[in-house]
Structure formats: structure tokens, C-alpha cells
Chains A and B, each alone.
Chain A
């Protein structure tokens, strides 16, 4: 509240943080150890160019690659009650939330957007694992319901990218109740006859897998994604034996009949376009990159309900 903390400290911080910039130019692949230049990595959608290891990708970066020319409109998500249980562990819940917001620059663990993907109008939702492990609380529940409602209003398919450690414990029972709440959202789509496609990314576990993430019309996973209800550590503690290599990974689930497909992130967009167009009874898509959608035939009514378009 004084001159030192308001002016001097930020100045000093900015001097020091400038020095950290060069370190962020290179990322080491956690799988094969290859050093990857940031531009090369982001051009490859955060997939290692050497070993194809899929690293986390933020919802914004995913949407930028998914939507035609990276243009999408955010769908507004109703705000839930803040800290409904007045939860406190070693830290207060609002403090943890604030720290996550600062670290990610996002408001919460899910981003919802509408736009076109290969000239195919869709609504998409993506969960952000870097935000409190993508955990499902009231906000994520509200986001999925808002996404489903928007998809029903616009008669578009919903594509959902899941990534979560499970329910958000700091919201207690209310996080558990997002399982039925999000299931109602999925049922809204089914009743409207609209496709609901789930892309499971690393990791998707717990109550998230046991609700909306397993109820898709088509279930696709990214390679080697951990997908489970109970995590491997919990199971090892329960049955006291080592689990086989690849247990609960995407390929393992595919073998056991729990998924339709395992798809490389680079191939995902074309696949999603092909699938949604077939399910929506649309003609085949034109392959390749497309210019941004033309301004005139904007088929979206009630545009007032959406946020500002993103560049």
C-alpha cells in the first residue's frame, strides 16, 4: 500500500524477469530428452518432433490450431458462487484459485468457444490441466452446460477436449455433483440429435472420466494419454502388485474396447472435420488450410451472448 511496494518492487521484478526470457526458448522433451526450439514445438502443437511425445497444450493454443485461421468466439460461462464451502486446507481455496489464475492467465479450468473448423460450424470446450489439474468444480460444470446449451441453440456438434485429475476437492460434494450435472448437458445434445465428440487427452482421470468424458458418441484419445477412474498408484496400493507396462494408457483402452480411436494430435483436426461432417449429413470437406470464414454468411444468431472474437 505504499510507494515501495507499488512502484519499486514491480520495477525490480521486471528487471529480473527480463533475464529469464531466453531460458523459455527451449523445451526439453520429458520422454526422449531432445531439446526443442519453442517455435518448432508450437508449430508441431506441442508434440515432440523426435519421439512424438504429446506434451500439454493450452486450450487457447488448441483452439487457435483447431478453428479456421485460428478465429473463434468465446462462449460466456455463468460464474458460480465463489468458494461455496469456505474450504481451507493448508491454504485457503480462493488463494489457490488466484495463484492458478496468475500462473495460467485464465479464469478457470475450461474454455468454451464457437467457430468453424474446416468450414464446419462447431462448439468446442477444452479443459486446462495447468489450472489446478483441470479439476472439475462448479465452473467446469457450468462451462459444459453452457457449451451444450449453445450447441443446441446453434444446432452444432460439441467437441470436448478433456484433461483433468478429477473432481475439485475444494468444492467437496458440489464437485461430485458435477457428474450428474454434466451428464444432463450430454443428454441435452443427445435429445437434440447433435453429435458429442470427446477427445481424451493426458491425463483424464477420476470423476471426469466417470461422467461427461466417457459419454461421447465418438471417443478419441491422444496417444499414450493416461485415462482411468482410479489412478495407477491407488490401484498398486490396493492390490499390492506392479501394474503392466502401458496400463490405463490410450492404446490399452483401445485394446480393451473403451475407445473408438487413438489419434495423433496433428491428424486430429482433419479427423474431427470428417467425423462431424458425416454425422451432420454434410458433404465432404475441402482438405488443407482455409482462409478465415467470410464475414457475410455468418450463420450464428444471437451473437450478443458471446464474448469478443479472438485474433
Chain B
């Protein structure tokens, strides 16, 4: 288990419980079950306390937790007949973006998502979930495919942002993001998005301009990372706690602002402590959102999606 800095007290208690049990295994005459159970209860109480009052910055840390389920975990568990489709037909295949055909509850769909990777090797391979223009262009191609064959599109959002690199700029990073957002607004099929970790800026909005957007309880969605915002507005990257607070990037604030439609509850201690439950809960939410849209005609889907975004921001936090 990877512990976050604010989970230190918890790490201590859980560590003690583990030590005690290891000691008991080595010495069969010792009975520690009572003490160990007491420690377990203490740990659970600590966890409950910690996660009940997560600050926005702590939520950012949870959203970036390396043990959280990533795109490929959801795809493997929730979809069948998964058929990855690669390439933008112009330059390359971007490994930061997964895309392909699959069945969701037997219904054929197109699934697109950011993949961050789960260890050093795969993280580098997937460029930490930071897409280049090719990633957005692959997504555009797949959304076109979905539109032509009347397949709903499901997008899973988990990116620190679009990749800020030389090649990415040369090949038109901004144009690729703009066209991907535009494509989201053009397709006459249901489009549902789930922010499963980090919804980083334009890199996220390019896939999340959807009929329905859900967020996991401890995920975040923001115009800029708290560190980036702090270094620009506070002139001090260490002020990320204040920036995270001011940006209103938590699922709870975004629901109040009317930016997202639904919050998916995470198990106690976050998605990283209950991967299976989290994935099931996301599956359930996708099912509900698709059902809400299934009877709508292509024109209605397009019109509703556009109106939804045109009207966004008209209600403040007061609600």
C-alpha cells in the first residue's frame, strides 16, 4: 500500500497491527488477535475521519494515487469483446489515449480514455496520461466511427493535461484539442464521460464535452493544476493548498456549479482501497447514464449537449 502524506497516522496504526500479526505468526503461543483487532478498528476510525474531511488539495493527491484503478482496469472489467483500435492515420499512435470498440452489457460501444500506466515502465510508455495531438486525432477518428455506426461513446478521463512538448506543439496540439471538443459536440450518439482520477484542463475537456458527466467522489477536474495556478497567481508553487481551495475543483463543488451531473461514491479510504467496488460503481453509473439517453434521437442528443454547455455557468455556488 502506498500511503499519502496526510495518511501517516493511519500508516502507523496499520503498521503496528501488521507487526503484531507477524510476531504472532512467529510465536504460536502468543495470542494477539484482540489487540490486532483493536488496532484494526482504530485504523478504520482514523480512515473514516481522514476521508470524511478531505481538503481539496488532499483530494488532488487521492485523485493521483498510483493504486487507483486506471483506464485499462475499467476497460478490462466492464467491457467485453474489447478491440483496441490504434492510430491517427497521420503521424502515430498515441499510447496516452486508449481507444477502441467494445461491448458494454453486450451493447456495442466506442470507449476512449486516458491511460496513465501503473509502474515506471508503463508510465513512460503511456507518457503519464498526457496526450499528444495524435491522441486527440485518434479520438476524433473513433468518435466519427461511432457516429456513423450509431454506437454510444464512453470516455474515461484521467490526465494531468495535454503534453507540453516541442513535437506536440509543432504538430498542432491546440488545433487537435479544439477539433476533439468540436467533434464531441457534433456526434449524434449518446456521449457519457466519467472523471476517474484527474480531469486536467483542455486535455480533459476534449473528451468530456458530453451529454452526461460523472465524477468519482475523490476525483478532481480543473482548468489548471493547483501547482500551476499557485505559481502563476501566488508566484509560489508551494501555495498549491490555497490554489486547490480557490479553484473549486472537487466533484462536490462542481456538482453545485452544475458542471457535472453525478457523483459516484468511492469506498472508505478512496478507490485505491477498494478497486473492485469502485469499478463496479462506475459501471453502474455508466449504465444509468446510457439508459437516460437511449431513447433520444441523434438531433436531440446534439441539441441537448450544445444547450447544456451554452447554459453552463449561469448558476453560481450559492445553490
Report which A residues bind B (CB closer than 8 A). 80-81, 84-90, 138, 141, 145, 167, 169-177, 179-181, 183-184, 186-187, 206-207, 209-215, 227-230, 234-235, 238-239, 243, 247-248, 256-258
A259 to chain B, nearest CB (A): 10
Q: Which residues of A contact B233 (CB under 8 A)?
A: 89-90, 169-170
At the interface, yes or no: B310 with Cβ under 8 Å from chain A?
Answer: yes
* Secondary structure type dominating chain B contacts: helix
Given that A89-B246, A174-B312, A229-B173 are contacting pairs, would A235 and B166 also be in contact in the complex, using a CB cutoff of 8 Å?
Answer: yes
Q: Which residues of A contact B249 (CB under 8 A)?
A: 172-173
Q: Which residues of B contact A235 (CB under 8 A)?
A: 164-166, 169
Given that A85-B246, A173-B249, A234-B164 are contacting pairs, would A145 and B222 also be in contact in the complex, using a CB cutoff of 8 Å?
Answer: no
Q: Which residues of B contact A211 (CB under 8 A)?
A: 177-178, 181, 202
Given that A87-B246, A179-B205 are contacting pairs, would A247 and B309 also be in contact in the complex, using a CB cutoff of 8 Å?
Answer: no
Question: Is the CB–CB distance between A184 and B306 below 8 Å?
Answer: yes
Q: Which residues of A contact B177 (CB under 8 A)?
A: 179, 210-211, 229
Question: Is the CB–CB distance between B316 and A214 below 8 Å?
Answer: no
Q: Which residues of A contact B164 (CB under 8 A)?
A: 229-230, 234-235, 238
Q: Which residues of A contact B186 (CB under 8 A)?
A: 187
Question: Is the CB–CB distance between A215 and B182 below 8 Å?
Answer: yes
Interface residues of B in 138-181 (CB under 8 A from A): 162, 164-166, 168-175, 177-179, 181
Which of these, B169, B182, B224, B312, contacts A177 with CB under 8 Å?
A: B312
At the interface, yes or no: B234 with Cβ under 8 Å from chain A?
Answer: yes
Which of these, A174, A181, A210, A257, contacts B310 with CB under 8 Å?
A: A181
B200 to chain A, nearest CB (A): 10
A70 to chain B, nearest CB (A): 33
- Kindly supply a per-residue 1/0 record for chain B positions 112-123, scoring 1 wherever the CB is within 8 Å of any chain A CB and 0 otherwise: 000000000000
Given that A181-B312, A187-B185 are contacting pairs, would A173 and B202 also be in contact in the complex, using a CB cutoff of 8 Å?
Answer: no
Q: Which of A90, A186, A210: most chain B Cβ within 10 A?
A: A210
B194 to chain A, nearest CB (A): 16
Q: Which residues of B contact A85 (CB under 8 A)?
A: 246-248, 257, 316-317
What are 8 inter-chain pairs, A to B, with CB distance below 8 A?
A84-B317, A173-B249, A173-B254, A173-B259, A177-B312, A181-B310, A183-B209, A211-B177
Q: Which residues of A contact B242 (CB under 8 A)?
A: 89
Question: Is the CB–CB distance between B173 and A230 below 8 Å?
Answer: yes
Q: Interface size (B, Cβ < 8 Å)?
A: 51
Given that A89-B234, A210-B177, A243-B166 are contacting pairs, would A172 and B310 also be in contact in the complex, using a CB cutoff of 8 Å?
Answer: no
Q: Which residues of B contact A81 (CB under 8 A)?
A: 313-316
Q: Which of A85, A176, A213: most chain B Cβ within 10 A?
A: A176
Report which B residues bind A (CB closer than 8 A). 162, 164-166, 168-175, 177-179, 181-182, 184-186, 201-202, 205-206, 209, 221-224, 229, 232-234, 242-243, 246-249, 254, 257, 259, 306, 309-310, 312-317
A185 to chain B, nearest CB (A): 9
Interface Cβ pair total, 8 Å cutoff: 166
Question: Is the CB–CB distance between B172 and A258 below 8 Å?
Answer: yes
Q: Which residues of A contact B229 (CB under 8 A)?
A: 169
Listed from nearest, the 10 A-B pairs whose CB atoms lie closest are A230-B164, A209-B174, A229-B174, A176-B223, A210-B177, A89-B233, A210-B174, A229-B173, A180-B209, A214-B178
CA distance A230 to B254 in the complex (A): 25
CA distance A256 to B312 in the complex (A): 35
Q: Which residues of B contact A247 (CB under 8 A)?
A: 166, 169
Question: Is the CB–CB distance between B309 and A187 below 8 Å?
Answer: no
Question: Is the CB–CB distance between B205 and A187 below 8 Å?
Answer: no
Given that A85-B246, A88-B246, A89-B246 are contacting pairs, would A210 and B178 also be in contact in the complex, using a CB cutoff of 8 Å?
Answer: yes
Given that A173-B221, A173-B222, A235-B169 are contacting pairs, would A183 and B313 also be in contact in the complex, using a CB cutoff of 8 Å?
Answer: no
Q: Which residues of A contact B224 (CB under 8 A)?
A: 167, 169
CA distance A299 to B291 in the complex (A): 49
Question: Is the CB–CB distance between A169 and B247 below 8 Å?
Answer: yes
Residue of B nearest to A165 (CB): B232
Question: Is the CB–CB distance between B181 and A183 below 8 Å?
Answer: yes
CA distance A79 to B85 in the complex (A): 45
Which of these, B178, B184, B247, B257, contacts A215 with CB under 8 Å?
A: B178
Question: Is the CB–CB distance between A176 and B222 below 8 Å?
Answer: yes
Known A176-B202, A213-B174, A214-B174; further 9 A-B contacts with Cβ < 8 A: A84-B316, A145-B310, A167-B223, A180-B209, A183-B182, A207-B201, A209-B174, A215-B179, A227-B174
Q: Which of A89, A206, A209, A235: most chain B Cβ within 10 A?
A: A89
A137 to chain B, nearest CB (A): 9
CA distance A309 to B316 in the complex (A): 34
Given that A85-B246, A210-B178 are contacting pairs, would A230 and B169 also be in contact in the complex, using a CB cutoff of 8 Å?
Answer: yes
Question: Is the CB–CB distance between A174 and B313 below 8 Å?
Answer: yes
Q: Which residues of B contact A212 (CB under 8 A)?
A: 178
Residue of A nearest to B307 (CB): A184
Q: Which of A145, A169, A187, A212: most chain B Cβ within 10 A?
A: A169
Given that A89-B242, A184-B185 are contacting pairs, would A172 and B205 also be in contact in the complex, using a CB cutoff of 8 Å?
Answer: no
Q: Which residues of A contact B172 (CB under 8 A)?
A: 214, 256-258
B144 to chain A, nearest CB (A): 16
Residue of B nearest to A87 (CB): B246
Q: Which of B171, B173, B178: most chain A Cβ within 10 A?
A: B178
A189 to chain B, nearest CB (A): 12
Given that A229-B202, A235-B166 are contacting pairs, would A214 and B223 also be in contact in the complex, using a CB cutoff of 8 Å?
Answer: no
B106 to chain A, nearest CB (A): 31
